[in-house]
Amino acid sequence: MKKILAVDDSASMRQMVSFTLKTAGFDVTEAKDGSEALAIAKQQDFDAVISDVNMPIMDGITLIRELRTLPNYKFTPLLMLTTESGLEKKVEGKAAGATGWVVKPFNPEQLLAVIKKVIR
Amino acid sequence: MSIDLSQFFEVFFEESFEGLDTMEAELLNLVPGEEDLETINTIFRAAHSIKGGSGTFGFSSVADFTHVLETLLDQIRQGERELGTEHVNLLLKAVDCLRGLLAALQAEQDPDLTEADSLRMQFESVLGVKSDSQESISQSENQKPDSNTYQIDFKPHHHLFKTGNEPLYMIGELQELGDLETTVFYDEVPDITDLSSDECFLHWRFFLNTSRDESAIKEVFEWVEDDSDITIELCGGVFTDDDQISISKNSSDNIPQAIETETSKPVVVVPTSVKSPSNPISPAASTNKKTATTPESTSIRVGIDKVDSLINMVGELVITQAMLNQLSEQEITPATITSLQEGLAQLAHNTRDLQENVMRIRMLPINFVFSRFPRLVRDIAQKLNKQVELKLIGEQTELDKTVMEKISDPMVHLVRNSLDHGLETVEQRVLAGKDPVGTVTLNAFHQGGNIVIEIMDDGQGLNTQKIRSKAISNGLISADNSLSDDEINELIFMPGFSTMDKVSDLSGRGVGMDVVKRNIQSLNGSVEVTSAPGVGSTFTIRLPLTLAILDGQLVKVSQHTYIIPLISIVESLQIDIAKVSRVGKNLDVLRLRDEYIPILRLYDIFNHNNAIESLDKTLLVVVETDNQKVGLLVDDLLSQQQVVIKSLEANYHKVDGVSGATILGDGRVSLIVDISGLIKLSGLKKPGSQELSLEPSVALEAL
């Protein structure tokens, strides 16, 4: 079973993402901010990480940048969940090493379509 | 796959309301011109989460509205716009408006968007933009029914894998758009000795026959457009074979990893049939009506530590119970009796601990009430054009949830009065040589089994002279009274005071204070005021920590046991008949030091027949409420204990002079005396009048 780390400071979004991915057959671990996610990611490997951008303590872009420096996360798909429709965040995210992004609002269908772009 | 999003609604609402509280609190912390970036970030994040969640869960009215405030906050955050007081005001209004929208949605009603729309227009005029919420909706709807063939050249840069992207999956996505022919080029693959598996050396040419338009193809490569060379060209409807190396058809669903194929011979992967995208589900439209939750939550959140300690206690209780059980099976000897007594003592100890801990579950920090005041104070101060600083002390002091809910309104009233009448205007303060910014302090702390809440202001204080003259003209006191200033100040709580609208202009403290006092008393609490001219006033509210349990003094009246709240008792004494004098028809008063204490005969009031002939050497319990002392005549003092209050109103009906009932250890029901009710019942007048007189006592019928 493919493992996904879902990171969001909003409990409802986190639950929704996690539930959707679990229903689709993924093994999902949740984290509530970047720093918690980084700590978890250092302890176990994930096939993909999907993270919100705006979070307290450590934001999603910093998380992606940190993850990319880890040997185990060199090629791992790292997706950002963002409502920023502007280019700026995407560029910033890409520069940090993000694989792609999911623009909020999205429904479970769209989320799975996006996940399918990076793992199967 | 279909996922019912409504299962996440409750969490969404809960965190959105929390987010709004955070926004409000942080907005109130902002000082335009000196704003702290982290505060703005926190506000932004809260708005951002609400927008993201509401969009995802299908609450588009909230999402659309939040969009404008998010935009404004983002501009401030990015330093593109300076924060002004007008922005803070607008954002605070938006917070209120969002609360209303979310509450309506939570109650599964259609929200009223009038205010949201008008606020959104205000935001848009600040932002100088038109709403763009309609923009991205109908993009995918103008699909052309006829199909076209596109030639797509896709040449990833070598580092592509390091972005976490996988060309293979993109090819899979293209296949889902239509008929795909794929050619792979391996001309850039280096010698095996130079080959790095970290890098992508392959590139591709696709011919895609699809009914979708070019944007759908672009979307496939959206994430990698900066990491590859991509060209998409429309070619006239047929496949044009060019310099492709080979084409083979492969209908297998198992596509080999691209990273593996790069070392092998050229491979072209063209699966013919690909499953169509799974059925689209309506986003959150399937609103589930089964959970018709009321907006007012009746549940409370309890810390795990509190639950853990309860579980521990129950464990202890079970052990004690087992021990007692074992003892009951043994023969009774002096030794077993000792053990039994020990066991019972332990049981008592455990029960008390358990009781305390169960009560703690209902305890919440008073911050739940305090947190509404920064906003309130800000709004009133703006309206009154005064400068006010609010200080909160003891926000973590815990209080029973039911008490908390009921104390909020009286506190709002007192705070509003402090701002309106207590604090002076900036000019007046400067003239008086005070700091132009007035201070209102809310302070909560525990004292014994009570919580004390103080509302202090450093304003002008009560004008005792004016209160006095008003009270005289109202007939509340006579002109030759000899009341102390404190006693005069207490008059503002009298009902006669508040009903006269001129009083508020004179005394400044008149409006509705009797209601405030009554509400607090209904919680078995008290309120008093102290004031010093030019220095300020302090209102002190004293409340029991909980409404469910009371520290009581058990007293014997005739054959019955009554309970007097311990908090009201001043002292108990034996009556010295020499100090008793009769006033009026049938009221005895006891001279106690400098005071005259009216004596109330409980057996008389409660219609028990064996009246005490002589007052000499009988017991008097002196109690105080509303700054009025009375003595209750009882036959005997029994023990003091905590009693669990049962409502008479709920189980029987309201009885004057009695605030509730409890069940004693022997199973009998005992009534809890309501001191202020008793005074009312006996017809004693409030202090301030020159004489105390007892009107014909009202007989108590039902008991």
Residue B53 with chain A: CB contacts under 8 Å: 10, 12-13
pLDDT(B351) > 60: yes
Cis peptide upstream of residue A105 (ω within 30 degrees of 0)? yes
Is some CB atom of chain B closer than 8 A to the CB atom of A76?
yes
**What is the token pair recorded at B119?**
């606020």
Residue, of B453 and B663, whose pLDDT is higher: B453
* CA distances for B352 relative to B222, B310, B345, B402, B543, angstroms: 66, 12, 11, 21, 21
pLDDT(B685) > 70: no
Answer yes or no: do A100 and B223 touch at CB < 8 A: yes
Distance from CA of A84 to the nearest CA of B (A): 9
List pLDDT tens digits, range A25-80: 899 999 999 999 999 999 999 999 999 988 889 989 999 999 999 988 988 999 99
Handedness of CA B119, B122, B127, B128 (dihedral sign): positive
Is some CB atom of chain B closer than 8 A to the CB atom of A72?
no
Answer yes or no: do B226 and A109 touch at CB < 8 A: no
Domain ranges of chain A: 3-118
Respond yes or no: is residue B48 known to be catalytic. yes
Answer yes or no: do B8 and A107 touch at CB < 8 A: no
The Cα–Cα gap between B608 and A90 comes to 84
Answer yes or no: do B3 and A104 touch at CB < 8 A: no
The Cα–Cα gap between B510 and B522 comes to 20
Can you tell me the mean pLDDT for B271-286? Answer: 39
Residue B48 with chain A: CB contacts under 8 Å: 54, 83
Distance from CA of A36 to the nearest CA of B (A): 18
What's the number of CA atoms in the CB half-sphere (13 Å) around residue A46?
29
Residue B159: the pLDDT is 84
Can you tell me the mean pLDDT for B70-79? Answer: 86
Is some CB atom of chain B closer than 8 A to the CB atom of A120?
yes
pLDDT(B201) > 60: yes
Pairing of β A48-52 and β B628-634: unpaired
Handedness of CA B688, B692, B693, B694 (dihedral sign): positive
Residue B118: the pLDDT is 87
Residue % of chain B over a pLDDT of 70: 82
Can you tell me the mean pLDDT for B392-407? Answer: 87
Is some CB atom of chain A closer than 8 A to the CB atom of B53?
yes
Answer yes or no: do B45 and A99 touch at CB < 8 A: no
Residues A97/B261, Cβ–Cβ less than 8 Å: no
Residue A84: the pLDDT is 60
Query: Chain A: residue nearest B60 by CA?
Result: A105
Residue A94 with chain B: CB contacts under 8 Å: 163, 226
List pLDDT tens digits, range B381-393: 888 888 999 999 9
The beta-carbon neighbor of A54 closest among B45, B63, B172 is B45
Respond yes or no: is residue B413 known to be catalytic. no
Q: What is the DSSP-derived secondary structure letter of residue B140?
A: G
**Which of B12, B18, B49, B257 best probes binding to A when mutated, by most A CB atoms within 10 angstroms?**
B49
Distance from CA of A2 to the nearest CA of B (A): 15
Alpha helices in B271-333 (DSSP H): 304-328
List pLDDT tens digits, range B39-56: 888 899 899 889 888 888
Pairing of β B580-583 and β B569-574: unpaired
Q: Report the top-level CATH class of A3-118.
A: alpha beta
Residue, of B699 and B485, whose pLDDT is higher: B485
**Measuring CA to CA, which residue among B611, B630, B609, B613 is closest to residue B673?**
B630
**Which of A107, A111, A115 best probes binding to B when mutated, by most B CB atoms within 10 angstroms?**
A107
Residue B686: the pLDDT is 47
Residue A30: the pLDDT is 93
Residue B236: the pLDDT is 62
pLDDT(B353) > 60: yes
Answer yes or no: do B169 and A116 touch at CB < 8 A: yes
The Cα–Cα gap between B173 and B249 comes to 17
Can you tell me the mean pLDDT for B208-225? Answer: 82
The Cα–Cα gap between B89 and B75 comes to 17
The beta-carbon neighbor of A12 closest among B15, B136, B172 is B15
Residue A36: the pLDDT is 92
The catalytically annotated residue of B24, B26, B67, B417 is B417
Looking at mean pLDDT, say which of A112-116, B112-116, B269-273, B538-542 comes out highest: B538-542
Residue B281: the pLDDT is 39
Q: SS3 of B476, please?
A: coil
Residue B217: the pLDDT is 83
**Which amino acid would we find at residue B340?**
L
Q: SS3 of B579, please?
A: helix
pLDDT(B703) > 70: no
List pLDDT tens digits, range B289-344: 333 333 445 666 677 888 888 888 888 888 888 888 888 888 888 888 888 888 89
The catalytically annotated residue of B15, B35, B41, B48 is B48
Answer yes or no: do A107 and B173 touch at CB < 8 A: no
Q: How far is CA A57 from the centre of its chain?
A: 16
Is some CB atom of chain A closer than 8 A to the CB atom of B266?
no
Answer yes or no: do A104 and B12 touch at CB < 8 A: no
3-state SS track over B26-42: HHHHCCCCCCCHHHHHH
Residues B638/B665, Cβ–Cβ less than 8 Å: no
Distance from CA of A37 to the nearest CA of B (A): 18
In total, chain B counts a number of residues equal to 703
Distance from CA of A39 to the nearest CA of B (A): 20
Phi first, then psi, for residue B555 (nearest 5°) are -130, 155
What interface predicted TM-score (ipTM) does this complex get?
Answer: 0.85
H or E segment at B628? Answer: strand B628-634
Band (A7; pLDDT cuts 50, 70, 90): very high
Phi first, then psi, for residue B470 (nearest 5°) are -65, -40
**Measuring CA to CA, which residue among B461, B443, B589 is closest to residue B537?**
B461
Question: Which residues sit opposite B442 in a β-bridge?
Answer: B392, B455
Residue B298: the pLDDT is 61
Can you tell me the mean pLDDT for B501-506? Answer: 39
Answer yes or no: do B11 and A118 touch at CB < 8 A: no
Please give the sequence-ordered ranges of beta strands (E in DSSP) within B264-362, or none if there are none: none
Q: What is the mean pLDDT of chain B?
A: 78
Distance from CA of B285 to the nearest CA of A (A): 11
The Cα–Cα gap between B314 and B577 comes to 53
Question: Rounded to 5 degrees, what angle do the CA atoms B89, B90, B95 make?
Answer: 95
The beta-carbon neighbor of B281 closest among A13, A101, A108 is A108
Residue B145: the pLDDT is 54
Answer yes or no: do A118 and B49 touch at CB < 8 A: no
Residue A99 with chain B: CB contacts under 8 Å: 163-165, 223
Contact residues, B window 60-79, toward A, CB-based 8 Å cutoff: 63, 70
Q: How far is CA B425 from the centre of its chain?
A: 32
Answer yes or no: do B53 and A99 touch at CB < 8 A: no
Can you tell me the mean pLDDT for A85-105? Answer: 80
Distance from CA of B521 to the nearest CA of A (A): 41
Region of residue B448 (phi > 0: left; psi between -120 and 50: alpha; otherwise: beta)? left
Residue, of B703 and A15, whose pLDDT is higher: A15
Longest dimension (CA), chain B: 127
The Cα–Cα gap between A43 and A26 comes to 19
Band (B215; pLDDT cuts 50, 70, 90): confident
The beta-carbon neighbor of A15 closest among B11, B280, B281 is B11
First to last CA, chain B: 66
**What is the token pair recorded at B700?**
């108590």
Band (B572; pLDDT cuts 50, 70, 90): very high
The side-by-side arrangement of strands in the sheet containing B388-393 is B388-393, B438-447, B450-457, B536-544, B526-532
pLDDT(B429) > 80: yes
Q: How far is CA B461 from the centre of its chain?
A: 32
**Lowest-pLDDT choice from A84-88, A99-103, B165-169, B323-327:** A84-88
Contact residues, A window 19-38, toward B, CB-based 8 Å cutoff: 19-20, 23-24
Residue % of chain B over a pLDDT of 90: 11
Residue B57 with chain A: CB contacts under 8 Å: 12, 16, 105
* CA distances for B508 relative to B476, B502, B562, angstroms: 17, 9, 41
Can you tell me the mean pLDDT for B260-285? Answer: 41
DSSP labels, B143-181: --SS-EEEEEEEEE-GGGGGGT--HHHHHHHHHHHEEEE
**Which of B15, B23, B163 best probes binding to A when mutated, by most A CB atoms within 10 angstroms?**
B163
Distance from CA of A66 to the nearest CA of B (A): 14
H or E segment at B620? Answer: strand B619-625
First to last CA, chain A: 10
Query: Chain A: residue nearest B220 by CA?
Result: A117
Can you tell me the mean pLDDT for B538-558? Answer: 85
Count helices and strands (H / E) in chain B: 22, 22
Is some CB atom of chain B closer than 8 A to the CB atom of A62?
no
Band (B274; pLDDT cuts 50, 70, 90): very low
Is some CB atom of chain A closer than 8 A to the CB atom of B125?
no
Distance from CA of B679 to the nearest CA of A (A): 54
Respond yes or no: is residue B67 known to be catalytic. no
